Amino acid sequence: MSTSSEAWAIDARGLTKRFGTVTAVRGVTLQVPNGTIFAFLGPNGSGKSTTVRLLTGLLAPTAGEARVRGRLVSVEDLELRREIGILPEDDALFPDLTIWEHLELCGRLYGFGRQETDARALAKATPGELEPVILSTGFFRQKSKALIGMAQGLVAEHEGNVPADMERLTKLPGVGRKTANVVLGHALGVPGLPVDRHVLRVSNRIGIAEGDDPVKVEEQLCAELPKEMWTLASDVQILHGRRVCKPKPLCDQCSVRDDCDYFRVVVSRGPGKVRAAKGKVRRGGASGPPERRDKRKIRTTRR
């Protein structure tokens, strides 16, 4: 084993963090080689998030130290923090800021001025300049080309402004229907219902939509819900899918299980009947909706 800290992407030794009398992290030592993917697993409350904050310079350790690519991690080292990217499970957005204010804030945190974060500046960027900024997101080479192309399209076709309709948004490079719906609903105040894997899973299980085509599921949900509920309906299902209705669902924690087809047909029958009940679930196993002969509409009963 190499003793040089430069051989490791992450080199942590004896990391400890105390909050008053509570020890959140005690003596964490780990080494992650350069160019590898490292899974950091543990139960809730075991200190994973605190350790990540220590490794990225967001928290100062009570004891021990961490180095990233041979460089000592410190809350004062802004240059190192600019080189580290974090992709959280949930959206880390401030509800009182607009999308553009978020972009400006993030740009300033990474050392960019306001004039450098608009579409015109991005349109003039090169892949070599943009790739290091989005490296942590994955597929950064493909994404950098799409982002630059998208910005060039905004400047050429829309004077640098983001259009507020689905057709024009999806004509931009790298912008699909889901992304367009997110921009419409959350940035521009135009009703939109993004359908991702969570919405597909939740809506099929509950029985308020049927199918694995995101466009068709979006059409089904939008046809039964008032426009003002579209964005909220997507947000609620995404959060429910992340936290409760996971691939292996936490039905005992679910507040809508009494109205859920999957719970009624599969779970509530008990272990002895689950195998037989699964035969009544559509293609996709536990993620799909139960077969049903009646064409029920979406139930919007408020509890």
Q: Domain of 251: which CATH number? A: 1.10.1670.10
Q: Clarify whether residues 109 and 34 are in a common domain.
A: no
Instruction: Based on the fold, state whether residues 205 and 236 are members of the same structural domain.
Output: yes
Task: Report if residue 22 sits inside a domain.
Answer: yes
Residues 208 and 164 in one domain: no
Tell me, what's the pLDDT at 170?
Answer: 95
**Domain CATH code at residue 53:** 3.40.50.300
Q: Does the pTM exceed 0.85?
A: no
| pLDDT per residue as tens digits for the range 224-252 | 999 999 999 999 999 999 999 999 999 99
Residues 111, 75 share a domain: no
The reply to whether 42 falls in a domain is: yes
Residue 68 lies in a domain: yes
Under 8 Å between Cβ of 143 and 137: yes
Contacts of 221 (CB under 8 A, 6+ apart): 193, 195, 199, 203, 208, 209, 230, 233, 298
Q: Are residues 203 and 283 in the same domain?
A: yes
Q: Is 124 a catalytic residue?
A: no
Query: Is 227 marked active-site?
Result: no
Do 50 and 132 belong to one domain?
A: no
To 5 degrees, how large is the angle CA 249–CA 254–CA 255? Answer: 160
Cα Rg of the chain (Å, integer): 23
Name residues whose C-beta falls within 8 Å of residue 118's C-beta, 6 or more positions apart in sequence.
160
Say if residue 132 is in the same domain as residue 70: no
236 in a domain, yes or no? Answer: yes
Q: What is the pLDDT of residue 283?
A: 39
Is residue 152 assigned to a domain? yes
Assess whether 243 and 283 both reside in one domain.
yes
Each residue of 165-201: pLDDT tens digit? 999 999 998 899 999 999 999 989 999 999 999 999 9
Low-confidence ranges of the chain (pLDDT < 70): 1-6, 87-95, 97-100, 102-103, 107, 109-117, 270-303
* Whether residue 45 sits in one domain with residue 20: yes
282 and 245 part of one domain: yes
Structural domain of residue 139, as residue ranges? 99-175
Please give the pLDDT value at position 40: 84
Q: Which two tokens stand for residue 245?
A: 């209705």
Tell me whether residue 241 is in a domain.
Answer: yes
Can you give the CATH number for the domain in which 118 is found? 1.10.340.30
Q: Could you tell me if 16 and 77 lie in one domain?
A: yes
Residue-level pLDDT at 277: 43
Q: Are residues 52 and 110 in the same domain?
A: no
- Residue keyed to tokens 């490292």: 38
Catalytic residue among 118, 196, 212, 235: 196
Q: Is residue 207 part of a domain?
A: yes
Has residue 182 been placed in a domain? no
Give the number of domains in the chain.
Answer: 3
